[in-house]
Structures are given as structure tokens and as C-alpha cells.
Homo-oligomer: A and B are copies of this chain.
Amino acid sequence: MVAALRAALGAPAGRVRLGIGDDAAVWSPAPGQLQVITVDECTEGIDFRRTTVSLEDAGWRALAASLSDAAAMGARPLLAVVSLVIPGDLDEGGVVLLYQGMAELAARHRVQIVGGDLSRGEVLSLGVTVVGEVRPSNLKRRGDGRAGDVLAVSGPLGLCRAGLAIVEGEVDRELLDPHLVERAVAAYRRPEPRVAAGRFLGGSRSVRGMMDLSDGLAADLPRLAAACGAAALIDADTLPVDPACRAVAQAMGAAPEDLALEGGDDLELLCTVQRRAFGYLAERVRARLGRPLLLVGRLEAGTGVVVSRGGVQHPLEVEGWEALRR
């Protein structure tokens, strides 16, 4: 689809540096300046249900997805505009709650919501466009990784997927540690876009390619590998799986790594790092951001994604995240 749209739109020209196909588009409003711009649509019944997240949470989640896209380019998000499709059962008070959830997240990142469009429709939907700035030397594209780089993520995987399983009743929450339940549900309802990590990793010369994991590693890693023109190898046995995801998977009788691989919404960043710089970079990330940078695999010459389990390698087979449509 993306290839067909590229053909319909033509190649970026003039001040546009990057068109469709990455987490955000990039253009240069003036010499030495770069802006990123990205939009994400969050639709009831597909991306969330009002029975499992509040209206404030729905607003938060919609903005979070777009902030994460800006962060994945190494950019600092600045502004957002919102296109809201309002169904008949949502009154003005409900719309204000959506905006309050967005405003709460926006304030944490000093992002301003400056405008929008309100329209009526059958299904609640929030389209959030975010504009950010990035120093030209800090811009990261998903396709800039090279064979030989290691693959790393900005945090353990599967926490939001665990939260989804809990709120959707895929698992009996009575079987789980209440503390893990609380963490997972909170992360699902209010995922944290890794804005500070994105800017920090953007500023590191040892980081080459970067994208966010909004659709889960199983869906997003093949995109990164293809953009880099390389093969990705990941090790399921050492995959950094969040403890809540592990517990939920056990209670569901599923493999924790599979749940972590397919889980979307985590908004962790996936980056490729020069192999020899990884240890030092992970230490700096820990010191500066109080967060881990976790190895998940490496890029090699070739194509596709291979998963190693118990020393045996297989092509990636786990289906990627398709939100509530699975």
C-alpha cells in the first residue's frame, strides 16, 4: 500500500527531506532547521473501547501514539492539532474529558494542543497530528541501521499487552499479583511515549536506525529490517519480557515471549546501535534517564526476521499486533 501511495504522491522535493514510510515526515522550514510531522488515528472499537478505558485515557492514548512517532525520529514534540469525530452519545462534557486527558499528557512534555476540528460521525475517532523539532545531526530514520548493528529497546516488552489481556478479560485477574495487575492496566490506559529517551538516543552518534514499537516487535521489526536492507535476528530466550507480561502469559497458558513479541502499544523505542558502543550507551542511558537500554538481537546481511529459540532458528511467525481486531 505504501508503495502505491508513494507512486501517487511522487518523491519528496524542495525542503521536504523525508516523505511517507517512516514514523514521521521531515522538512526544513529554514536552513539548519528540521521539523518532523506525524499523524495517528485512534478509533473506538479498533484502538480502544470506552468500556475499558476512560475518555481521559482515550485522549491520552491518542496523543501518546503521535508523540511516540516524533520521539522515534529523535525529535522534540512541540505542537498538536486534533481532529475529533464525535458520535451522538458523546456530549460536550465527554469531549472536554477527552481533551483533558490529552492536555494532561501534553503538559508533561511541554507540548501545546493548538487547534483542531470537531465533526460528527458514527464512531468516536481521534486523529492527532504532532509537529516537532530536531537538530539535523540528531535525526534518526528507521532505515539507517546496518548489518552488524545490535538491536535494542528502551524498556521491557509486553506490559501494555498484559494490561489489555486484563481489561479485556482474556485472563482471570484473581490469579495475578495485584501489584502487577495495577502496573499493567495503568500502562495500557496511559502508555508513556519515550520522549526523553528518543531525544537522548537521537543525540547519540552510535545509534543509527530508530522507530517506535506501537505495533509490537513482531510487526515493527520486519519494517525496520526491510528499511535497513538487512536481516534481523532476535533471541526469544533472552527477550526482555516485562514481569507482568510473563505472569499474564502463564495464567493464559501462552508463551511469554510470544505475548511480548505481538503486544502493541508499549511505545518503547527500537534502535540499532553500533555493536562496540552498546555497553557504554546503555550505561549512559541508565545514568541520564534512569532507564534501561535492552538488547534484543542484531542486524546481519540478508532479509527477513529470524527468531532463535533454544538455539534453533526459525523465521518470525508470530502475528503482529492488530489492536482489538485480532
Binding site for B on A (CB under 8 A): 1, 4-5, 7-10, 12-16, 18-20, 22, 24-25, 27, 29-30, 33, 35, 37-41, 43, 45-47, 78-79, 81-85, 92, 95-96, 99-100, 103, 106, 112-123, 125, 127, 129, 131, 133, 325
For the complex, give the distance between the alpha carbons of A2 and B14 in Å: 37
Determine the chain B residues whose CB is within 8 A of the CB of A118 once the complex forms: 1
Q: How many copies does the complex hold?
A: 2
Given contacts A39-B82, A129-B129, 12 further A-B pairs with CB under 8 A are: A9-B112, A25-B79, A25-B81, A25-B115, A27-B78, A37-B81, A39-B81, A43-B119, A81-B129, A120-B325, A122-B122, A131-B131
| With contact pairs A5-B99, A19-B112, A112-B16 given, residues A121 and B125 touching in the complex (Cβ less than 8 Å) | yes
Neighbouring B residues of A79 by C-beta, 8 Å: 16, 25, 27, 37
User: Measured between C-beta atoms, what is the minimum distance from A129 to chain B in Å?
Assistant: 4
Q: Is the CB of A115 within 8 A of B13?
A: no
Give the distance in Å from the alpha carbon of A219 to the alpha carbon of B183 in the complex. 48
Closest residue of chain B to A101, judged by CB? B8
**B115-A46 in contact (CB<8A):** no
Chain B residues, CB < 8 A from A30: 29-30, 33
- Bound complex: CA of A20 vs CA of B24, how far in Å? 24
Task: Kindly list chain B residues whose C-beta atoms are within 8 Å of the C-beta of A22.
Answer: 115
Q: List 17 A-B contacts (CB under 8 A).
A: A4-B92, A4-B96, A5-B95, A5-B96, A8-B99, A9-B99, A19-B113, A37-B81, A39-B82, A39-B129, A40-B83, A41-B119, A45-B122, A83-B127, A117-B127, A121-B123, A122-B122
